[in-house]
Amino acid sequence: MLVSREFEFDAAHKLINYRGKCEKLHGHRWKVRVTVKAPLKEDGLSFDFIKLKEIVEEKVIKKLDHSYLNELLPQPSTENIAIWIWEKLKKLPLYEVKVWESPATSVTYRGSE
């Protein structure tokens, strides 16, 4: 079973060595979907949504929300943010992390394959 939970956070960043609008300081309302893969257990659940929410909020969202992402990552591209989130949650049975920087643009990361 694949179990997912979505989250949002607000943060600012600028892209280093990039030419275009995103080289300047700007912010986004980011959206993140964390998906875990777990077998269906006898109780009819595979992974508790509440447990997933608690873990992601503690390890990821509290650190990213209303932050300046360049203080966490040297190049806070959407791709690098997805990898950073994966690393923070790697003790979970992760399947994928998806990060949107706008409603029309996103990155999906499934670990180093």
Residue 113 has pLDDT above 80, yes or no: no
Per residue in 76-97, pLDDT tens? 999 999 999 999 999 999 999 9
Structural domain boundaries, residue 6: 2-109
22 included as an active-site residue:
yes
How far apart, in whole angstroms, are the C-alpha atoms of residue 68 and residue 26?
A: 10
Q: Which of 22, 28, 57, 96 is catalytic?
A: 22
Q: Work out how many domains the chain is built from and give that number.
A: 1
Q: Which of 8, 23, 54, 66 is catalytic?
A: 66
71 included as an active-site residue:
no
Contacts of 83 (CB under 8 A, 6+ apart): 109
What pTM was computed for the model?
0.94
Q: What is the CATH number of the domain that holds 43?
A: 3.30.479.10
User: What is the pLDDT of the chain when averaged over all its residues?
Assistant: 96
Whether the CB-CB separation of 12 and 101 falls below 8 Å is answered with no
Contacts of 14 (CB under 8 A, 6+ apart): 22, 23, 24, 25, 26, 70
66 included as an active-site residue:
yes
